A and B are shown apart, each in its own frame.
Chain A
Amino acid sequence: MFYNPPCTHSFFVSFSIGEPLRMATFVPFKTYLDTPFWREVNKRKRDEWKLDDTPKPIFSQLSLCERNSDHCRLSLSHDSFKPSNGNPNELSISGNLMLYNTREKFKEAATAKSLEELMKTEATKIWDVITTKTWLQNPHLLSSFTIIAFADLKKFHYIYKTCIPSLKYPKNPEQEISSLSTDESSLLTYYKQTFAPVFLFSKSSQKALEIAHLERQVNPDDVLIVVADPSPNPSSAGRLVKNVVAAVAYLHPTWNHCNVISLRSSGSIEIKYSWPANADAVVQNLVPQCSGWEQHYSADLSKQFDPKIMMEEAVNLNLSLIKWRLNPDLKLERYSTLKVLILGAGTIGCNLARGIMAWGVRHISFVDNSFVSYSNPVRQSLSKFEDALNGRGKAETAVDALKEIFPSVQAFGYQLTVPMPGHTIDEKDEEQLEKDVRQLEELIKNHDVVFLALDSREARWLPTVMASIHRKIAISVAIGFDTYVIIRHGIGLRKDSSSEDVNSEAVPYSQLSCYFCSDVTAPGNSTSDRTLDQQCTVSRSGLSMIASGFAVELLASVLQHPDPLAAPASLDDNTTLLGAVPHQIRGFLHRFQQIHPSVKRFEKCVACGDLIADRFQKNGWKFVRDVMNSPKHLEEVTGLDELQESVEAIDIDFDDDESVASV
């Protein structure tokens, strides 16, 4: 795939041996940075350099087995700030990083005039190396690079431009490529022993020599000048070679050609460079023209370095891995675009929020009217001691904790009392009630899912009514001391119920019962007549996590049904992409047992019944007020009272004799 076997060029440009001279070409460089390089820049700029913007030495590794590119790769990574002393087995060139403190400073440095000046300065350094013959001792100095850059360490945006000067000297050289006149492997061996970037091969002694011996050579055809070359092109040397040719031409002004081996482990080539003798009579003190600015590049690495975005990416990626590995068709966007309303920010509400957040849900709202007490933090996964100490609202506390855990979450808290049947209200509170009912209804309308995690039965009544009317996915989660129940309420307004598949054993979503369906009494004030241990929820400690966990997964599965609002109650694994979607999950911790009953709705239900929906839609908050003041009102509306009376009226006469007789 991406690795060609060594020594075979993927795009071998054919050339014939002894082809006519043609204009010499040199493959330009292109800088390749990686993310670890920028991370190192961030670190050093922040901790070490700070406002110091003097040039910083950096080192680039070059590879002798480039193949798949049309550039010589100047690669920079996290270790580019250390000279490769520890790793002498690398071809590297050294350079400078000029990291400006402001974007404006960078722009100044990047004007045509400044660029030209900088190039000239760098070219002069190289020209000095050539004219002083320093390069014969240290051929590394023939190439260097400079990067001008600006790093915005708040937004993690980077701009940069690289200059790798190559001298236009001698002018207009021509090249002729020929087959290797010597054994490549002995050259590679010498290179690996010395890591000399430029060396000689003497044709007479058939030996590799240090480049310093070049000075004594008289005839250009007695030696081969070997240059370790990162060029990927089988018919052209890289820009590194250009400065070597310049140095040779300067050193031997009488020569009009030289023979170079562009040494690569992916297949070396031999090139004869020639130039008109003396045509360029060296003006000794004038630096030749030069080229080598790369184009301007920029990079946005906020996804890699902005901690908030990094977390978002990591969370999404983790979910994508489920999709990639286990369930390619999984519709993750159904979680990420979901708006979930959690009624009750207690132990269940907190655990539900954590569970759905991990599934990728980003919009979570809490409704609660109470405050964090000292008994809460150990059980409620979104509050702590301080919150109890400060008497903070549970909803607000949960919101802050969610944001602390995951800053990208959209969390909202509402301090609101859910109106409850049997909790009578005075006339003076009616105005508030009207507001509360309206707010609750708005909240339910504006979310896709409603979790009912309130601590009393009657508090679930009004949200059940509203969720049913607005056709929202509503899931009730309730726990006792060692039992739990999770019920997904039927989707309301069952106009389409007749079209459901009657042959299917699965109960259609629209026909599922709600939390109240199996009750033949209306919810009343369940706390008024209870001892303390009955009033507050005393549960086995792990129960809330178990129940919340199952509720989260029930929602997760429902959402993977082709049409979530039509997901029937079914224990068949193939119902959704994640498997079964039961109607109810009832667990009994004392036996570690769980059952999954499906129950059809009761038409006269005091919460999801059609008559209740009609009455609420007609009378709104006033209906709620009436119910609060007299729960019996519900039974009258639905006709439950008649039902109860009729049951009581049946006189069943058990005849003992008869049952014995039938044995």
Chain B
Amino acid sequence: MLSEEKFREELQKFVEKMSENKWNWQLKENGKYARETHLETLASGKIVSADIHILYNFTYQVPTLWFNFFENNGTPIPFDEVVRDILKIPESEESDSIRQRISHYEHPILGVLYYNIHPCNTEKIMKELKTDDSYLISWLSVYGQQVGLRLPDSLKLH
């Protein structure tokens, strides 16, 4: 578990580290959350913008990943397309996988529907990781992967 104060501290370090590695993460609302956004070309040739946030979850006291995908005009990519073309979740996905914890909820700050990965297992997973790296980098190496975010090689876990 992570206190909110510690989370904010880690988030700041994380964004700096990402910036050194030329990743465009930005602190938002005085360090309340971090945001990364980029364009992505789907197999169909369609270009979508991906919006990814790291927020603190007060109940579980761990970071949570929130994300969504939009057309250029602001309409979200439909759920089925997100599952099939972006997250590429196979129908045979194992029921205990992290991706099975992806849900659609109202974003706590933006007030519109975003996807999130439910943090109920985060603490357990983080304990198993037992790494000396920054908490958020370790965390993102597990959770980011679920939505296709891969860490720069220089930040890979040892």
Contacts and interface: CB of A to CB of B under 8 A. Distances in A.
A471 interface: no
Contacts of B49: 32, 34, 73, 75
- Residue in A1, A3, A73 with the greatest tally of chain B CB atoms within 10 Å: A3
Interface string B23-63: 11011111000000111110000010111000000000000
A325 B95 contact: yes
Contacts of A37: 74
A31 B40 contact: no
Contacts of B149: 2-3
Interface in A374-402: none
- Residue in B72, B149, B152 with the greatest tally of chain A CB atoms within 10 Å: B72
A321 interface: yes
Nearest to B69: A2
A9 to B, nearest CB: 13
A299 B112 CA distance: 16
A183 to B, nearest CB: 15
Contacts of A301: 74-75
B85 to A, nearest CB: 10
Name the interface size band of chain B.
Answer: 35 or more
Nearest to B50: A2
A87 B23 contact: no
B104 A321 contact: yes
Contacts of B150: 1, 3, 5
Contact of A63 (B38, B68, B95, B111): B38
A6 B70 contact: no
A192 B18 CA distance: 13
Contacts of B51: 34, 77
B98 interface: no
B70 A39 contact: no
Contacts of A5: 150, 152-153
A68 B28 contact: no
A324 B84 CA distance: 11
Interface in A245-269: 265-266
B95 A297 contact: no
19 contacts: A2-B38, A3-B149, A3-B150, A32-B72, A35-B68, A35-B112, A39-B111, A63-B38, A68-B41, A73-B49, A77-B51, A79-B28, A89-B27, A298-B73, A301-B75, A304-B75, A317-B79, A317-B104, A321-B104
Given A75-B49, A317-B79, 20 more contacts: A30-B72, A33-B70, A34-B51, A34-B74, A61-B26, A65-B22, A65-B24, A66-B39, A86-B30, A89-B26, A90-B26, A158-B74, A266-B22, A298-B73, A301-B75, A314-B104, A317-B104, A324-B83, A325-B95, A326-B95
Interface of A: 1-3, 5-7, 10, 30-39, 61, 63-69, 73, 75, 77-79, 86-87, 89-90, 158, 192, 232, 265-266, 297-301, 304, 314, 317, 320-321, 324-326, 328
